[in-house]
Structures are given as structure tokens and as C-alpha cells.
Structure 1
Amino acid sequence: MAQRTLYLVRHGAADALGQVTADGREQARLLGRRLAGAPVDAVWHSPLPRAVDSARIIAAEMPRVLVDEAAELVDNVPFVPGPEDVPPSWKGFFDGYDRGEADAGRRTADALTARFCGPNGQGRRATHEVVVTHAYPIAWIVREVLNAPPAQWMSLAGVANASLTVVEFSDDGPPAVVMFNDMSHLPAGLRWTGFAGGGRA
């Protein structure tokens, strides 16, 4: 069975300029310690600085692992739904998106799933890859694993900084979501609840 396990990670907390904060660095370090016992083959990251820095901190806990950029992991809106598919909490979010931007986002999303959503192609050897990216690409991958409609990514986008989502792909069965948005490696003060007015758990 050529199984591929992806450990999907949102970058550590970042400031308004997209730089990882002290809290974000600690989140990444703790996640790296959690993943250090896994047989990780590679750490892939988005080209954006907050993901690059988080990936390096995570990888420091697992010496001699490949760390490299994957352009498909960039932060972007993967799918712009029609007005009838936009939930009330997202009203106004897509204002100003033109057709060209929407099409470009979908092309990036399709490239993301083409690269990461499938068996490993390494014969019979199982592979384990850490993917350091952003909330929307994680939501898109999970939606793909669940075979949900494209607009469903919005319901999965509340992914916390340095949380862990695990998905598996196999050549002899359907893909699976093993874990979603898990923060058990983080102390309460570094967890994000996702609820308005409640930034920390």
C-alpha cells in the first residue's frame, strides 16, 4: 500500500506585516517537538515569510529532514462561490473579486490538490510530509479529502495557528481525515478558539 500521510500545519501566529511573532515561534517549536517522533520525509512550506519561518522552526526539531518551498501552498482564496452559496458570516468578503482573480485562485487550488492530494507515487513505501501553509489551503485540502462541494471550504477555514490536521491518501482505498485542527500540543495561552472576542482558549 503506497500510503501518503500529510501533516497540515497553519503557520505560527503572525503580526499585521506577516512576520511570525514570539508567540508564533513558540507555537511552531512546540509543534515541531510533537512531530519529532514521526517518520517525516520532508517539510514543505508556502513561499510567504510567516510559513517559511514556521517551517524552519518546526524542522529544527527533526534534524536532517528536507525543507523546501512549494509555491502551490501560498495563501489564496481557492474558490469564489456564487452569491447563493455565501453564508451570512462571509457576506462582503468576496466583494471586489473579479473573474480573473477568482480563476487564478482556482488554478492555484487545482495545482495544490494535484501536487499533494493523492498517493505518494513512491512504489510501496509509505511517506510522511509536513505541509506548512495557511488556513485556506488547509481547508481546501480537507474539503478535497471529504469530496465536498467547492464552496464547502469556507466551513473548514477556521484553522488555528500551529494546529495540526492529518490526512492520509492510499492507492487501495478512499482518503481519510485522521485529525482536524488539533491544538493539544499548545498550552492554553497559545491556543486560538476561533470565537469572536475569545482570541485565546
Structure 2
Amino acid sequence: MTHFIYLVRHGEHQDAEHGLVDGPLSPRGQRQASLIADRLSGMPLSAVWHSPLLRATETARMVAERMPAITPQASSLLFDCVPSGMSPETPAVYEPFFGAVTDAEIEAGRAQMADAVSEFLVRRTGEVHELVITHNFVISWFVREVLGAPEWRWMTLNQAHCGLTVIAQKQGRPWTLLTHNDLAHLPFELRTGLPETHPV
């Protein structure tokens, strides 16, 4: 028996190009969400969790349209956040990014992700398939956690809009990364959200 978690970054949102925090899915984001929904429609999902932000909520709604038996559930543990700050081990190249982030934001993000790991990366009984629709940094933190990598390594991981990352745990074994940022369901013109340099 295996516990699978399908991690999906939300689709592109309309205000992304203007630097605004949130907004509805753009027409391109709607196409991205439709295609990831098609890809996941055959999965025996037992739960769909999503960030309460509009772009993640709308992505989850489009997935749920293909699976009427599933009701998406919002979780505040999946909000967009910055999960850690500069440390002695963090490469200096990332300092400019943290110049725009307050200590309070980092503290809140760290606490949120500690709770998220305790909530989601817990072995369920039986064969379980869960979908989590959230944000780039949150998925990066989950992947870093599964790999047991140093805290700052989340900054070296990126997910495209509606990219698919799968982690899994068999009974009595550690979590395993099965696939990361799989974009096979997206044509080239819909592969957005990957910065040229990270973070931006």
C-alpha cells in the first residue's frame, strides 16, 4: 500500500505580469488548469487540497469539474509563503531576495511549513491518492523535506504553472520523490512560471 501526493502549482493568474499578489486565472492559466485536470481525471483521488488564494482555488475548481465525487478543501497551511531566511549556509547570491522579506514574514512562513509538513507528510492508512494545489515555494519546501536537503535548497527548486510533482511513501519506508515538475501535459507555449534565475 502506498500513499501518493500529487503536488501541482496553480495556473498562471491574470495579475502575475503586473506583480500583484493574487487574481483569477488568465486565459492561459485556464488552459493549463484544464490540461492538468484532464491528466489527473483518471486518478483515484481521495482528497483535493488547495491554497485559499484565488489562483489556486480556481485551479482546484477546474480539476474538481472532472471529478464530481471530490470536493476541494482549502487549507491555510498551503498559502504562499517564504519558508526560511538567510543562514550561514545560504549562498550570498540570494541575499537581494531576502532584502524584500521581513523577519516576521520568514518566521510566519517557517511556522506554517512546519505545520504543513506535519499535516500532509504523514502516512495515511491503505492506498491513498491526494492532490495538493498550492504555490511554487510551498512545493519547493515539500520536495526539499522529502529529499532531506538543507533548508536553503528550496530556493534551487522551481515548478512551472500546473507542473506535476509526485511524492510517495510505502509502509515503513521514507518519502520518495517520484517525479518533479512534469510538464508532459502542457504544450510548449503553456509552460510558464519558470524564472530564468531564481528567485525573482
Same fold (TM over 0.5): yes
User: Counterparts of 1:1-201 in structure 2 under 5 Å?
Assistant: 1=1, 3-16=2-15, 17=20, 18=22, 19-82=24-87, 84-88=89-93, 90-120=94-124, 122=125, 125-156=126-157, 158-192=158-192, 194=194, 196=196
Counterparts of 1:153 and 1:84 in 2: how far apart (Å)? 13
Other structure's SS at 1:56 match = helix
Post-superposition offset of 1:189: 1.1
Poorly superposed stretches of 4+, deviation over 6 Å: none
Post-superposition offset of 1:73: 0.4
Other structure's SS at 2:81 match = coil
Aligned residues: 191
Cα deviation code 1:161-186 (max 9, x no counterpart):
00000001233111110110011001
Other structure's SS at 1:132 match = strand
Post-superposition offset of 1:192: 2.7
Instruction: Please tell me the residue identity of whatever aligns with 1:115.
Output: E
Counterparts of 2:31 and 2:136 in 1: how far apart (Å)? 19
Unaligned stretches of 5+ in structure 2? none
Q: Is the 8 A contact 1:41 1:66 kept in 2?
A: no
Q: TM-score, normalised by structure 1?
A: 0.89
Identity of aligned residues (%): 38
Post-superposition offset of 1:97: 3.2
Post-superposition offset of 1:51: 0.3
Unaligned stretches of 5+ in structure 1? none
Structure 1 residues 98 and 194, CA gap change in structure 2 (3 angstroms): closer
Q: What's the Cα RMSD here?
A: 1.7
Counterparts of 1:87 and 1:177 in 2: how far apart (Å)? 28
Other structure's SS at 1:66 match = coil
